[in-house]
Amino acid sequence: MSQSIAKPATGKLGVMVVGLGAVTTTFMTGVLMTRKGLAKPVGSMTQYDRIRVGEGEDKKYLKYNEIVPIADLNDIEFAAWDVYPANAYESALNAQVLKREDIEPVRDELIAIKPLPAAFDHNYAKRLDGNNLKQGTRWELVEQLREDIRRFKAEKNCDRIVVLWAASTEVYVPVDEKCHYTLEALEAAMKADDKEHIAPSMCYAYAALSEGAPFIMGAPNTTVDIPAMWELAEKTHMPIAGKDFKTGQTLVKSGFAPIIGTRCLGLSGWFSTNILGNRDGLVLDEPANFRTKEVSKLSTLESILVPEAQPDLYTNYYHKVRINYYPPRDDNKEGWDNIDIFGWMGYPMQIKINFLCRDSILAAPLCLDLVLLSDLAARAGRYGIQRFLSFFLKSPMHDYTKNEVPVNHLFQQYVMLKNAIREMGGYKADELID
């Protein structure tokens, strides 16, 4: 038996989520229902996937919790921040993702999850108008959030905390070297209440890392994608992961583009469009917020089908992404992909993919996996950017200051994930990424 390098998952794990909307309430309800044996956590890698460890006669296929000490679902305590005061039960009903009969058995537990006032700036999400808000400068918001984390940890007697952003996409914040490149500059900007360069999400990330909690960015916000936050993560020895949950269309893209590349077919264009009706769709209907999402979704293809690597096949292809707010759909998103490819002697062909997905049903297991694996990483002494979590994320974090190229190829990401689990379990990381 191999010896895990991660500390045991003793005591309770507090999961504090920013945003108590469709994704979060679906995540919480599913975990609570699974604990009662009333639902199955389908789609969760940590609960279902098996990884090979060892080779030859020593080869075994084990679940994650047989390789590494992963927190048990029974040990999770939930808390949330939100701009709207509705508790998790009311929010789950309002979201209209789950049927009432799949919510009622855990009604009491959900009612008990009342959102803490949010650190929020209306200029970063103009379509939201909640009044459950904190007041203060950016630095004062950081201090209030740190106090929230400390209080929740003490009240629920949690051993560890993980903070997960599952709130709406903020307006795009370009990386600014003056205030985003060093921790000292970031803190100075927060203390100066620089609302232009310091998004509310940065206050959450700073507070989480300062309180010894891993931070996960589930939206395409710039939040932890800046050198100042990497410096803070190194200083506090905490893991960070981001950005943007890879649920529907980008999951398809990161899995299907390798088919085109591996088969050495050419690409002329890839047009992606979505219709979505939930609160996320409403926020993304604002052009400044969509810009943040667009940057995230556009980045996937270019590192899989690389023009420099195959100039005959991938030079000058046209890549377009659209998201349209369509209220009748609620959380049931529909994504269309039209892919123009060419083959032998340049003859054109087309591929069309129509994915009718349930956004929160796909995102909930990602929330669970990211939380459990970030907690594991912290106990294994891994800190800073967690590249092995790229599998779950649309626009994987990478050190762009050193011209690092992110890995977007789904199957290469899966190898990274498996190798990290093996390493943390004390096994050899024995798969190569070709």
Sorting pLDDT into bands at 50, 70 and 90, what band is 189?
very high
Tally of CA atoms within 13 A in the half-sphere of 293 that contains its CB: 26
Long-range contacts of 35-40 (CB under 8 A, 24+ apart): 35/73, 35/74, 36/105, 36/106, 38/105, 39/102
Sorting pLDDT into bands at 50, 70 and 90, what band is 280?
confident
Beta-carbon contacts of residue 176 (< 8 Å; ≥ 6 apart): 197
Q: How far apart are CA 308 and CA 34, in angstroms?
A: 47
Q: How far apart are CA 69 and CA 126, in angstroms?
A: 42
Q: Does residue 281 carry a pLDDT above 80?
A: no
The dihedral sign for the CA sequence 56, 61, 64, 65: negative
Which has the closest alpha carbon to 266: 208, 228, 313? 313
Indicate the domain borders of the chain: 12-245+361-424, 249-358
Tell me, what's the pLDDT at 176? 95
Q: If 0-12 CB within 10 Å is exposed, 13-18 middle and 19+ buried, where does residue 311 land?
A: exposed
pLDDT digits (tens, 9 = 90+) for 348-385: 999 999 999 999 999 999 999 999 999 999 999 999 99
Tell me, what's the pLDDT at 300? 81
Tell me, what's the pLDDT at 297? 61
Tell me, what's the pLDDT at 296? 62
Tell me, what's the pLDDT at 277? 81
The dihedral sign for the CA sequence 44, 429, 308, 244: positive
Q: Does residue 211 carry a pLDDT above 70?
A: yes
Q: How far apart are CA 90 and CA 129, in angstroms?
A: 17
Sorting pLDDT into bands at 50, 70 and 90, what band is 332?
confident
> Mean pLDDT of all residues in the chain?
94
Q: Does residue 1 carry a pLDDT above 60?
A: no
User: Model pTM greater than 0.85?
Assistant: yes
Q: How far apart are CA 200 and CA 248, in angstroms?
A: 26
- Residue type for 415, please? V
Q: If 0-12 CB within 10 Å is exposed, 13-18 middle and 19+ buried, where does residue 233 land?
A: buried
The dihedral sign for the CA sequence 364, 35, 387, 149: positive
Tell me, what's the pLDDT at 303? 87
Residue with the two structure tokens 């891994």:
382
Peptide bond into 243 cis (omega under 30): yes
Residue with the two structure tokens 């300062």:
210
HEC sequence for the chain: CCCCCCCCCCCEEEEEEECCCHHHHHHHHHHHHHHCCCCCCCCCHHHHCEEEECCHHHCEEEEHHHHCCCCCHHHEEEEEEECCCCCHHHHHHHHCCCCHHHCHHHHHHHHCCCCEEECCCHHHCCCCCCCCECCCCHHHHHHHHHHHHHHHHHHCCEEEEEEEECCCCCCCCCCCHHHHCCHHHHHHHHHCCCCCCCCHHHHHHHHHHHCCCCEEECCCCCCCCCHHHHHHHHHHCCEEEECCECCCHHHHHHHHHHHHHHCCCEEEEEEEEEEECCHHHHHHCCHHHHHHHHHHHHHHHHCCCCCCCCHHHHCCCEEEEEEEECHHHCCEEEEEEEEEEECHHHCEEEEEEEEEEEHHHHHHHHHHHHHHHHHHHHHCCCCEECHHHHHHECCCCCCHHHCCCCCCCHHHHHHHHHHHHHHHCCCCCCCCCC
pLDDT digits (tens, 9 = 90+) for 106-144: 999 999 999 999 999 999 998 888 999 999 999 999 999
* 194 CB neighbour count, 10 Å cutoff: 16
Q: How far apart are CA 157 and CA 292, in angstroms?
A: 37
Q: If 0-12 CB within 10 Å is exposed, 13-18 middle and 19+ buried, where does residue 80 land?
A: buried
Q: How far apart are CA 23 and CA 363, in angstroms?
A: 6
Strands 158-165, 215-217: pairing is parallel
Q: How far apart are CA 69 and CA 132, in angstroms?
A: 37
Sorting pLDDT into bands at 50, 70 and 90, what band is 279?
confident
Give the pair of three-digit tokens for residue 138: 């950016």
Higher pLDDT, 37 or 126: 37
| Topology of the domain covering 12-245+361-424 | Rossmann fold (3.40.50)
Right CATH for 249-358 from 1.10.260.40, 3.30.360.10, 3.90.1150.10, 3.30.470.20: 3.30.360.10
Instruction: Provide, rounded to the nearest whole percent, the portion of the chain with pLDDT above 90.
Output: 84
pLDDT digits (tens, 9 = 90+) for 216-256: 999 999 999 999 999 999 999 999 999 999 998 889 999 99
Task: Please say whether the beta carbons of 49 and 43 come within 8 A.
Answer: no
Tell me, what's the pLDDT at 276? 83
Tell me, what's the pLDDT at 298? 65
Sorting pLDDT into bands at 50, 70 and 90, what band is 4?
confident
pLDDT digits (tens, 9 = 90+) for 70-79: 999 999 999 9
pLDDT digits (tens, 9 = 90+) for 288-311: 776 766 676 667 888 899 999 999
CA 213 from centroid of its chain's CA atoms: 16
Q: Does residue 2 carry a pLDDT above 70?
A: no
Instruction: Provide, rounded to the nearest whole percent, the portion of the chain with pLDDT above 70.
Output: 97
